[in-house]
């Protein structure tokens, strides 16, 4: 950033490098003392700072320290803040408009929608009293792939994504001077969703295992009879290939078992069309957003050990459901207009969480689950007790947890890694902010580690304890403003004592490896 006080220093540096730029482009910024000129193409103006593409690269310049000349200069009196979003149609068509309406209502703005074409929508925010237009929020309703492409082409400020940024996209963004898009200030989990298998209401199949779901979507199981249904071919339905949800299916369901999608998958541009098609297809099997199931029927996930996992708001929030799918915002290392920054700040608050929940997605606000609402989990613990985990250990766990309630805030790790997954990294920030705000003052938070059942029980117990300690330390480091003694942060570990899913698959083992938060 170039402030007015730094204009002289910056001018000196430029003069040491090369004479003043002489190539005429669409703007020339001149310091108040006339000592430096910056000529280039105006990329943006947020009401305070200019962002200019120059021969020295992209520069951000404090508008109070310069004057602007040229055809690209903005009108300072009638400035309208502009921010462009591109990406997931699910987010652009449903979630973001609802959040903009909530933000406008909270701040006394009026919202006007303008449909430019099939894929471009603008929302204009105006002052509720003067009717003066203050901001334009533009949305390109497309796919996660296209969202990242628009960002790299400098045609979008923020990406709406239903998957994490891929390594090649991260590298190209860094090379383009956008910073590391995985940093905490560059990426954010906006809301939670999940991929859920759906069938027609008349289909007799009620449940499916994760291995069978992967086998069906890789073309290895092609008949419903193999899943306990009628002797009929399975028709597979997915969103468009470039959509984040479809790519998440490949990344998280198929790639771990070395499988790929067959060629005869029926594709749909939006999830709502997918769910309608499966509803009327008696032999259809689809994977769709939890928020857009419609009149189709969700299948419960099951395993050979008898445990079942159903997609609900609570199991998605805790990540107990294995196919959770966070909804991301990705932002490059550049300054956004003040009104856009205020909107992003609103998205972190409790008012936005209410809006997210009302439109059918899963919010991130922590909830407390009393122990008497967790009967299935403790039944799993009892049924899996044996030589490795004794009944005494189960009784110790129940005795410790009985006076507490479980938070929906949970932590899980990337496959084969000690790094927290994306949703859990967001949970670290959410929990730290809640602690800083005094939500848990004079209370005790216990970070409780669990493991899968592979390997010796004592080793698993120690691994679970180390993970719980690591999560506690990460939350402590993030809650910088908390004074010692306000909240008690404890560590507990029970290893493989309370499995959530069967250990017979990589998905089940990943669900079982977790750190829960219990509060007293």
pLDDT per residue as tens digits for the range 409-432: 999 987 766 788 888 988 998 899
CA-nearest of 329, 336, 338, 335 to 107 is 338
7-69 CATH pick, 3.40.50.2020, 1.10.760.10, 2.30.30.100, 2.20.25.90: 2.30.30.100
Q: What is the pLDDT of residue 373?
A: 81
pLDDT at residue 16 above 60?
no
Q: What is the pLDDT of residue 43?
A: 85
Q: What is the pLDDT of residue 503?
A: 83
Classify domain 195-317 by CATH architecture.
Answer: 3-Layer(aba) Sandwich (3.40)
Helix (H, G, I), strand (E, B) or coil at 88: strand
Classify domain 81-190+328-347 by CATH architecture.
Answer: 3-Layer(aba) Sandwich (3.40)
> Which residues neighbour 487 within 8 Å (Cβ) at sequence distance 6 or greater?
435, 440, 441, 442, 443, 444, 445
Burial 269-305 (b: 16+ CB within 10 A, else e): ebbbbbbbbbbebbbbbbbbbbbbbbebbbbebbbee
The per-residue pLDDT for range 147-179, each reduced to its tens digit, is 999 999 989 999 999 988 999 999 999 998 888
pLDDT at residue 21 above 60?
no
Spatial separation of the C-alpha atoms in residues 161 and 363, rounded to whole Å: 16
pLDDT, average across residues 431-448: 92
Q: Are 283 and 234 in contact (CB under 8 A)?
A: yes
pLDDT at residue 14 above 50?
no
pLDDT at residue 24 above 60?
no
Of 295 and 413, more confident: 295
Return the structure tokens found at 453. 């059942």
Spatial separation of the C-alpha atoms in residues 141 and 235, rounded to whole Å: 27
**pLDDT-based confidence at residue 126 (cuts at 50, 70, 90):** very high
CA-nearest of 457, 480, 519, 184 to 333 is 184
Q: Is 340 exposed, middle or buried (0-12, 13-18, 19+ CB in 10 A)?
A: buried
Spatial separation of the C-alpha atoms in residues 143 and 91, rounded to whole Å: 10
pLDDT at residue 340 above 70?
yes
pLDDT, average across residues 303-317: 87
Spatial separation of the C-alpha atoms in residues 320 and 310, rounded to whole Å: 9
Spatial separation of the C-alpha atoms in residues 152 and 181, rounded to whole Å: 12
Tokens 């998280």: give the residue.
252
Phi, psi of 103 (to 5 degrees): -65, -45
The per-residue pLDDT for range 476-498, each reduced to its tens digit, is 999 887 777 788 999 999 998 88
Domain spans of the chain, in order of start: 7-69, 81-190+328-347, 195-317, 366-519
Spatial separation of the C-alpha atoms in residues 303 and 180, rounded to whole Å: 39
pLDDT, average across residues 74-85: 86
Q: What is the pLDDT of residue 431?
A: 92
Of 90 and 25, more confident: 90
Radius of gyration, alpha carbons of the chain: 26
Q: Which CATH number describes the domain made up of 366-519?
A: 3.30.1330.60
Of 115 and 78, more confident: 115
Q: What is the pLDDT of residue 214?
A: 94
Q: What is the pLDDT of residue 25?
A: 59
Q: Are 445 and 487 in contact (CB under 8 A)?
A: yes
Q: What is the pLDDT of residue 11?
A: 40
Equal fold, 81-190+328-347 vs 195-317: yes
Q: Are 448 and 493 in contact (CB under 8 A)?
A: yes
Per DSSP, 270 falls in state S
Q: What is the pLDDT of residue 4?
A: 42
> Which residues neighbour 233 within 8 Å (Cβ) at sequence distance 6 or greater?
222, 223, 224, 283
**pLDDT-based confidence at residue 2 (cuts at 50, 70, 90):** very low
**Percent of the chain's residues with pLDDT above 90:** 53
The per-residue pLDDT for range 171-221, each reduced to its tens digit, is 999 998 888 988 878 899 999 999 999 999 999 999 999 999 999 999 999
Please state, as a whole number, how many other Cβ atoms lie within 10 Å of the Cβ of residue 335.
Answer: 15
Sign of the Cα torsion 486, 475, 513, 500 reads positive
Q: What is the pLDDT of residue 374?
A: 80
The per-residue pLDDT for range 249-293, each reduced to its tens digit, is 988 889 888 999 999 999 998 778 899 999 999 999 999 999 889
**E-strand stretches of 386-504:** 405-411, 444-450, 488-495
Return the structure tokens found at 57. 């690269």
Phi, psi of 153 (to 5 degrees): -90, 5
Q: What is the pLDDT of residue 12?
A: 38
pTM: 0.80
Q: What is the pLDDT of residue 416?
A: 65
pLDDT at residue 13 above 60?
no
Query: What's the whole-number average pLDDT of the chain?
Result: 88
Of 15 and 321, more confident: 321
The per-residue pLDDT for range 137-155, each reduced to its tens digit, is 999 999 999 999 999 998 9
Q: Is 90 exposed, middle or buried (0-12, 13-18, 19+ CB in 10 A)?
A: buried
Q: What is the pLDDT of residue 9?
A: 39
Sign of the Cα torsion 111, 243, 87, 362 reads positive
Please state, as a whole number, how many other Cβ atoms lie within 10 Å of the Cβ of residue 241.
Answer: 13
Spatial separation of the C-alpha atoms in residues 499 and 411, rounded to whole Å: 15
Q: Are 308 and 142 in contact (CB under 8 A)?
A: no
pLDDT at residue 8 above 70?
no
The per-residue pLDDT for range 377-406, each reduced to its tens digit, is 888 788 777 777 888 888 889 899 999 999
């Amino acid at each position: 950033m170039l402030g007015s006080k730094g204009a002289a220093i910056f001018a000196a540096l430029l003069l040491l490098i090369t004479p003043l730029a002489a190539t005429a482009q669409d703007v020339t910024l001149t310091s108040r003392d006339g000592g430096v000129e910056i000529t280039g193409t105006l990329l943006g103006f947020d009401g305070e700072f200019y962002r200019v593409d120059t021969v020295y690269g992209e520069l951000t310049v404090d508008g109070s320290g310069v004057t602007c000349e040229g055809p690209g200069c903005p009108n300072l009196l009638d400035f309208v803040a502009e921010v462009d979003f591109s990406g997931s149609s699910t987010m652009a068509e449903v979630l973001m408009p609802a959040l903009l309406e909530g933000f406008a209502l909270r701040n006394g703005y009026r919202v006007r929608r303008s449909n430019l074409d099939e894929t471009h929508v603008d929302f204009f925010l105006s002052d509720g009293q003067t009717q003066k237009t203050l901001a334009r929020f533009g949305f390109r309703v497309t796919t996660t792939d296209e969202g990242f492409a628009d960002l790299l082409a400098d045609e979008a400020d923020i990406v709406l994504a239903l998957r994490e940024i891929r390594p090649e996209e991260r590298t190209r963004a860094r090379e383009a001077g956008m910073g590391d898009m995985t940093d905490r200030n560059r990426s954010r989990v906006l809301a939670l969703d999940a991929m859920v298998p759906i069938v027609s209401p008349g289909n007799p199949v009620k449940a499916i295992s994760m291995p069978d779901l992967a086998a069906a979507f890789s073309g290895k199981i092609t008949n419903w009879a193999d899943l306990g249904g009628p002797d009929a071919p399975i028709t597979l339905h997915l969103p468009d290939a470039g959509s984040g949800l479809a790519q998440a299916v490949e990344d998280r369901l198929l790639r771990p078992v070395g499988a790929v999608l067959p060629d005869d998958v029926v594709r749909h541009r939006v999830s709502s069309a997918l769910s309608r098609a499966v509803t009327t297809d008696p032999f259809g099997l689809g994977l769709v957003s939890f928020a857009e199931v419609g009149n189709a029927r969700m299948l419960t996930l099951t395993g050979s050990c008898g445990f079942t996992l159903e997609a609900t708001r609570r199991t998605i929030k805790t990540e107990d459901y294995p196919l959770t799918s966070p909804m991301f915002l990705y932002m490059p290392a550049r300054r956004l207009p003040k009104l856009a920054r205020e909107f992003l700040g609103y998205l972190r608050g409790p008012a936005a969480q209410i809006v997210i929940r009302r439109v059918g997605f899963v919010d991130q606000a922590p909830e407390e689950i009393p122990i008497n609402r967790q009967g299935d989990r403790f039944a799993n613990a009892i049924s899996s007790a044996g030589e490795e985990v004794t009944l005494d250990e189960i009784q110790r766990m129940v005795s410790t947890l009985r006076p507490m309630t479980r938070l929906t805030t949970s932590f899980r790790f990337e496959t084969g890694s000690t790094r927290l997954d994306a949703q859990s990294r967001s949970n670290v920030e959410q929990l730290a902010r809640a602690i800083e705000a005094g939500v848990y003052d004079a209370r005790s938070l216990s970070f409780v580690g669990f493991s899968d059942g592979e390997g010796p029980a004592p080793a698993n117990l120690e691994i679970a304890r180390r993970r719980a300690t690591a999560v506690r330390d990460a939350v402590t480091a993030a809650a910088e403003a908390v004074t010692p003694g306000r909240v008690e942060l404890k560590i507990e570990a029970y290893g493989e004592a309370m499995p959530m899913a069967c250990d017979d698959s990589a998905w089940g083992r990943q669900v079982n490896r977790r750190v829960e938060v219990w509060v007293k």
